[in-house]
Structure 1
């Protein structure tokens, strides 16, 4: 989590808004220390049990039920490889990505004016 946030701070000027669910990976001591030291990061927590406000939940559901429902990995590395492969394919499919987003209750973000 900290590596991801550090990368965002490096690549995005100004304030960085992070919208989080209640996952335990957002609450650990390393994350807390990082957030105290990096005041550019502003957090907004999703309400509990609100998957309709979290489009990534639809991505995980698509992975779990549409892509990997009958998949039996040899080990965790094999599972990681298959998940990454599917996520890369999803990244290259804007129609499906948009459809998953539209399954949430959030408006689709407009691209910034250049």
Structure 2
């Protein structure tokens, strides 16, 4: 992850350069759910993951089972049915994931249209994260990055107004008619 810079300065006539060691090797993934229920505060449920075996050809992203476990954890935390609105990530459309969702009476799933990140409230969370806790940060090692990531997500998690703002930014509301079905 290259460090996002929000502000910098330099002598007039010279362009500031931010040096970054190494290249992105997709060592980390984060999955998140923005949860909304009428009359209650919005919630953010997230799971960051460090991929330790990425160099030896191991997974470089969340597995279907990890997404499944996140949905189950959300159901237990929210203590109610879930309407899941997903983007078109290949794992979300996997036949085994569809079978899991179809087998649960407490999950209803819809897919966003292709190439529509502007309709996904979680994309707003990533944007807020990059502009706040990750802005102007040069991470010293992978542990430093994961600590800052968890800290930033926790800060957002306790501010339901930010999560509400991410839904507002999509133009969707709690009363929006049904999106495209599966």
Note whether the superposition's TM-score is higher than 0.5: yes
Q: Residue 84 of structure 2 is aligned with which of 13, 18, 40?
A: 18
The answer (yes or no) to whether the contact 2:82–2:107 under 8 Å persists in 1 is: yes
Give the corresponding residue for 1:51. Answer: 117
Runs of 5+ in structure 2 lacking a partner? 1-66, 176-182
Distance 1:92 1:8, change over 3 A: closer
Structure with greater helix percent = 1
The answer (yes or no) to whether the contact 1:54–1:104 under 8 Å persists in 2 is: yes
Q: Residue 41 of structure 1 is aligned with which of 107, 110, 132?
A: 107
Please tell me whether Structure 1 or Structure 2 has the larger radius of gyration of its CA atoms: 2
Q: Give the secondary-structure state (helix, strand or coil) at the position aligned to 1:19.
A: strand
- Measured in 2, the distance between the counterparts of 1:32 and 1:94 equals 30
Give the corresponding residue for 1:31. Answer: 97
Structure with greater strand percent = 2
The answer (yes or no) to whether the contact 2:133–2:148 under 8 Å persists in 1 is: no
The answer (yes or no) to whether the contact 2:88–2:111 under 8 Å persists in 1 is: yes
The two structures have a TM-score, normalised by structure 2, of 0.48
> Per-residue deviation at 1:95?
3.6
The two structures have a TM-score, normalised by structure 1, of 0.70
The answer (yes or no) to whether the contact 2:83–2:108 under 8 Å persists in 1 is: yes
Equivalences for residues 91-102 of structure 1 within 5 A? 91-102=157-168
Q: Give the secondary-structure state (helix, strand or coil) at the position aligned to 1:26.
A: coil
Distance 1:99 1:43, change over 3 A: closer
CA RMSD of aligned residues (A): 2.7
Runs of 5+ in structure 1 lacking a partner? none
The answer (yes or no) to whether the contact 1:2–1:30 under 8 Å persists in 2 is: no
- Measured in 1, the distance between the counterparts of 2:103 and 2:114 equals 27
Give the corresponding residue for 1:88. Answer: 154
